[in-house]
Structure 1
Amino acid sequence: MKFSEMTYTRPDIDAILAQCRQFAQRAAQAASGEELVQLYYDQSAALADYTTAANLANIHYTCDTRDPYWEGEQNFFDSNGPAVTNATVEIYRAILANPHLDALTEALGSTCVPGMKNAVLAMDDRVLALQQEANALSSAYQKLYGGALVELDGKQLTIPQLGPYRQSLDPAVRRAAYEAEAGYFDAHRAEFDDLYSRTVKNLNEQARILGYKDYSELSYVRMNRIGYGPEEIRAFRDQVARDVVPLLNTIIQRRAKRVGIDHLTFTDLGVAFPDGNPNPIQGYGERMAAARTMYHELSPETAEFIDFMQDNELFDVLSRPGKASGGYMTSLPSYKAPFIFANWNGTSADVDVLTHEAGHAFEGYLAARDEKIPADLECPGMESAEIHSMAMEFLTAPWHHLLFGKDTDKYSLLHAEDSFIFLAYGCEVDEFQHIMYQKPDLTPDERNAVWLELEHKYRPWIDFDGLPFYGRGAGWQRQLHIYECPFYYIDYCLSTMAALQFFLLTLKDPKDAWARYLRLVKRGGLASYTELCQTAGLRTPFEAGSVKAIAQPVADWIEAHQI
Structure 2
Amino acid sequence: MKFSEYVYKRPNVEEIGNKLQTLIEEFGKSDAKRQIEIMYEFFEFTDDFGSMATIASIRHSIDTKDEFYIEEQKYLDENGPLLQNYFYGFSMLAFNSPHRKELKKEFGTHFFEQIEVGLKAFDEKMIPLMIEENKLSTEYDKLIASAQIEFNGKTYTLMQMSPFLQHKDREIRHKAQLKVSGFFEENEAKIDEIYDNLVKVRHEMALAKGYENFIELGYYRMGRTDYNSEDVYKYREQIKEVVVPAVSKLHRRKAKRLGIKDLKSYDTINFLSGNPTPKGNKDELVNAAKVMYKEMSKETDEFFTFMLKHDLFDLESKPGKRGGGYCTYIPSYESPFIFANFNGTSHDVDVLTHEAGHAFQVYSSRHHIPSQRWPGMEGAEIHSMSMEFFAWPWIPLFFKEDSEKYYFSHLSSTISFLPYGALVDEFQHEVYKNPHLTSAERKETWRRLEKIYLPNKDYGDDHFMEKGTYWFRQGHIFSSPFYYIDYTLAQVLAFQYWILNREDHKKAWESYYKLCTLGGTKGFVGLIKESGLNNPFVDGTIKKTIKPLMEFLDSIDDMKL
**TM-score past 0.5 threshold:** yes
Q: Is the contact between residue 163 and residue 343 of structure 2 (CA under 8 Å) also seen in structure 1?
A: yes
Q: Does 1:430 align with 2:425?
A: yes
In structure 2, the residue matched to 1:547 is 542
In structure 2, the residue matched to 1:329 is 327
Letter in 2 for 1:13: V
**Cα distance per residue 1:306-331 (max 9 Å; x no partner):** 11111211111111111111111111
Matches within 5 A, 1:385-404: 385-404=380-399
Q: Does 1:22 align with 2:22?
A: yes
Mean CA deviation greater in 551-560 or 455-464? 551-560
In structure 2, the residue matched to 1:532 is 527
In structure 1, the residue matched to 2:257 is 258
Letter in 1 for 2:457: I
State the distance in 2 between where 1:440 and 1:155 align: 41
In structure 2, the residue matched to 1:64 is 63
State the distance in 1 between where 2:83 and 2:557 align: 53
**Cα distance per residue 1:429-471 (max 9 Å; x no partner):** 0000011111112111111111111111111111111214322
Q: Does 1:131 align with 2:126?
A: no
Q: Secondary structure at the match of 1:169?
A: coil
Q: Does 1:294 align with 2:292?
A: yes
In structure 1, the residue matched to 2:472 is 477
Q: Does 1:507 align with 2:505?
A: no
In structure 2, the residue matched to 1:364 is 362
Q: Identity rate of aligned residues, in percent? A: 38
Q: Is the contact between residue 263 and residue 458 of structure 2 (CA under 8 Å) also seen in structure 1?
A: yes
In structure 1, the residue matched to 2:151 is 152
Letter in 1 for 2:231: E
Mean CA deviation greater in 283-292 or 544-553? 544-553
Q: Secondary structure at the match of 1:267?
A: coil
Q: Secondary structure at the match of 2:466?
A: coil
Q: Deviation of residue 35 (structure 1)? A: 4.2
State the distance in 2 between where 1:57 and 1:395 align: 33
Q: Is the contact between residue 319 and residue 342 of structure 1 (CA under 8 Å) also seen in structure 2?
A: yes
- TM-score, normalised to structure 1, is 0.97
Q: Is the contact between residue 36 and residue 101 of structure 1 (CA under 8 Å) also seen in structure 2?
A: no
Q: Deviation of residue 493 (structure 1)? A: 1.2
State the distance in 1 between where 2:155 and 2:358 align: 32
State the distance in 1 between where 2:36 and 2:498 align: 38
Aligned-residue CA RMSD in angstroms? Answer: 1.3
Which of residues 538, 541, 559 in structure 1 aligns to 2:554?
A: 559
Q: Does 1:13 align with 2:13?
A: yes
Change (3 A) 1:102 1:470: farther
In structure 2, the residue matched to 1:2 is 2
Change (3 A) 1:108 1:256: farther
Letter in 2 for 1:127: M
Q: Secondary structure at the match of 1:341?
A: strand
Change (3 A) 1:425 1:168: same
Q: Deviation of residue 253 (structure 1)? A: 1.3
In structure 1, the residue matched to 2:302 is 304
State the distance in 1 between where 2:175 and 2:523 align: 45
In structure 1, the residue matched to 2:82 is 83
State the distance in 1 between where 2:440 and 2:551 align: 40
Q: Deviation of residue 379 (structure 1)? A: 0.9
Q: Deviation of residue 479 (structure 1)? A: 0.2
Letter in 2 for 1:295: Y
Letter in 2 for 1:452: R
Q: Secondary structure at the match of 2:465?
A: coil
Unaligned runs of 5+ in 1: none
In structure 2, the residue matched to 1:107 is 106
Q: Is the contact between residue 227 and residue 525 of structure 2 (CA under 8 Å) also seen in structure 1?
A: no
Mean CA deviation greater in 508-517 or 122-131? 508-517
Matches within 5 A, 1:170-209: 170-209=169-208
In structure 1, the residue matched to 2:273 is 275
- TM-score, normalised to structure 2, is 0.97
Q: Is the contact between residue 362 and residue 516 of structure 2 (CA under 8 Å) also seen in structure 1?
A: no
Report the number of matched residues: 558
